[in-house]
């Protein structure tokens, strides 16, 4: 899976808004936060593009949404190797409908979700 998100939008204010929505028991809080920063991804449903909108992200399982949120947060932080890494990591063929956790450019993913070769590209 390849995900491109706007790392400049992953700010303390963005995180605070997501947290406020969670505290208000907005069940779509993480989906809305992710939709606000994800620019594009290669997820499909029935062979058709599956846009990274809040309603679509909300259809995914909570562990997937939570894992995606964590990976976006971690990937938005520049590493000490920032200028030394390739902008894209080789990606395997896109899986249909359900995104798998991504391997962030800044280090290994520690989520409990099954591993898959992917690319996450902050802009």
Q: What average pLDDT does the segment 98-110 reach?
A: 46
The pLDDT tens digits of the residues spanning 3-34 come to 999 999 999 999 999 999 888 988 899 999 99
The pLDDT tens digits of the residues spanning 105-123 come to 544 444 444 444 345 555 6
pLDDT at 110: 44
Buried b / exposed e across 12-41, counting CB within 10 Å, b at 16+? eebeeebeebeeeeeeebbbbbbbbbbeeb
pLDDT of 48 higher than 60: yes
Q: What average pLDDT does the segment 65-70 reach?
A: 91
Question: What's the pTM value of the predicted model, to 2 decimals?
Answer: 0.63
pLDDT at 68: 92
pLDDT at 95: 38
């Amino acid at each position: 899976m390849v995900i491109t998100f706007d790392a400049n939008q992953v700010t303390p204010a963005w995180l605070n808004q997501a947290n406020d929505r969670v505290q208000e028991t907005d069940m779509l809080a993480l989906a809305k936060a992710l939709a606000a920063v994800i620019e594009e991804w290669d997820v499909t449903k029935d062979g058709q593009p599956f846009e990274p909108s809040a309603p679509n992200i909300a259809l995914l399982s909570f562990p997937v949404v939570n894992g995606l949120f964590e990976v976006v947060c971690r990937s938005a932080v520049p590493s000490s190797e920032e200028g030394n890494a390739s902008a894209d990591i080789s990606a395997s063929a896109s899986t249909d409908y359900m995104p798998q956790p991504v391997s962030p450019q800044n280090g290994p993913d520690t989520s409990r979700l099954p591993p898959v070769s992917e690319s996450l590209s902050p802009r």
